[in-house]
A and B are shown apart, each in its own frame.
Chain A
């Protein structure tokens, strides 16, 4: 089945929008939980990603607390990443409610760590994030450290390398498309000399429902992710899923009304007997 993934970008207490990897704060943690009906949004998702994209010094403890809180709000698998620079940090994210880790720069800086994480938790637990830039129709160049540093490998080599070092999925993120709302870079997987053996997720450029539908209609694409907090509010993802199902693409379905029916089903009555 194909998947729709939503990504929350976190930077030192704020949730962010990103454009070409430049960040803009949209609201604090309280805003997200109080004014943005995150639980409702999650009813239309297959998975959630929560990434610490802090450009300054990261605070993994605080971030893990927020991850823990978010994991209590939605009943779907969750991928957590950003700053997985040690086994302990990865383990802490998993204990905070993550089902998978997104690992990006460590595949370049410390591939042994990636192999260790995959060996210990299983490769299904490791999503390799590959950020890349492209000028015109030139080659796509992978970059690490929040897209700021190009690495001396071409994309084809890098895709093989992350798979050899434990990746169970690959998230392809186009720095150029990021936040533009102009659509996904649909041909990134097709242009590889060899199709990855692991599921491929595309992110960067989703601006409207049609972009998600076109992405998931592409045979090389297993999942589409978007980080725009405002493009799909309320039940917008549920509508997108219906449209995807109508195109014949296999996508999971749930009975949304059951959420309201089941909430507090077993709570003791709160009213006190009248005197």
Chain B
């Protein structure tokens, strides 16, 4: 196993690499598209806004390298938080198209008038409605994960396996379609539940 963590130069990826170290997974952090070639698994983290991150992916060949890893080689790819959003077609937050590996558009979360649901959605929340797929194995009922985001994916096509979370309305908390995976929450900030999700991802083999 050789995990490549893509460094977009925005946000902090130290917790993610600490989680990989805890799990005993050999990994590299890289901004070099060539470094993805030998990777068994790629993780695309992301904190910040959609367009600046897409610009970084488009400016170099990193976007192409991720595409190659996921579609030509069909090796496991995990997008985390903004990294998950970047795998899709686009977001209300930005004007630039996403990587387009998955179908779907992210929309801004809506706050409940006078309610307790605020935007951004920050904190531990329950995740439910897990489809029966390798990424979601071994969780207790309604496990808790740490979220911090303002945009979310309302639904996925039927052939995509997903788990849901509620924030005024249901949204996609995580998904798996074959080798493509994403988590809207931060597994690296979600105690043992998050470590389990990362471990499940690492167990996916090409």
Contact surface of A with B, Cβ cutoff 8 Å? 1, 3, 43, 46, 68, 71-73, 75-77, 94-99, 122, 124, 168, 252-256, 258-259, 262-267
Contact = CB atoms under 8 A, between A and B. Distances in A.
A75 B23 contact: no
A88 to B, nearest CB: 16
A94 B47 CA distance: 11
B14 A68 contact: yes
Given A95-B12, A255-B140, A266-B24, A43 B125 contact: no
Contacts of A122: 120
Given A95-B12, A252-B144, A263-B24, A72 B18 contact: yes
B192 A254 contact: yes
B160 interface: no
16 contacts: A1-B123, A1-B124, A72-B14, A75-B188, A75-B191, A75-B192, A77-B186, A95-B12, A97-B12, A99-B189, A255-B140, A255-B192, A262-B22, A262-B199, A266-B23, A266-B25
B21 A72 contact: yes
6 shortest interchain CB distances as A-B pairs: A267-B24, A258-B192, A264-B24, A252-B124, A252-B144, A72-B18
A262 B188 CA distance: 13
A43 B146 CA distance: 14
Given A168-B122, A254-B190, A263-B23, 7 more contacts: A1-B124, A75-B191, A124-B122, A255-B143, A255-B196, A262-B192, A267-B24
Nearest to A256: B192
Interface residues of B toward A: which range? Answer: 20 to 34
Contacts of B196: 255, 258, 262
A46 B124 contact: yes
Interface string B60-75: 0000000000000000
B192 A43 contact: yes
Interface in B174-194: 186, 188-194
B19 interface: yes
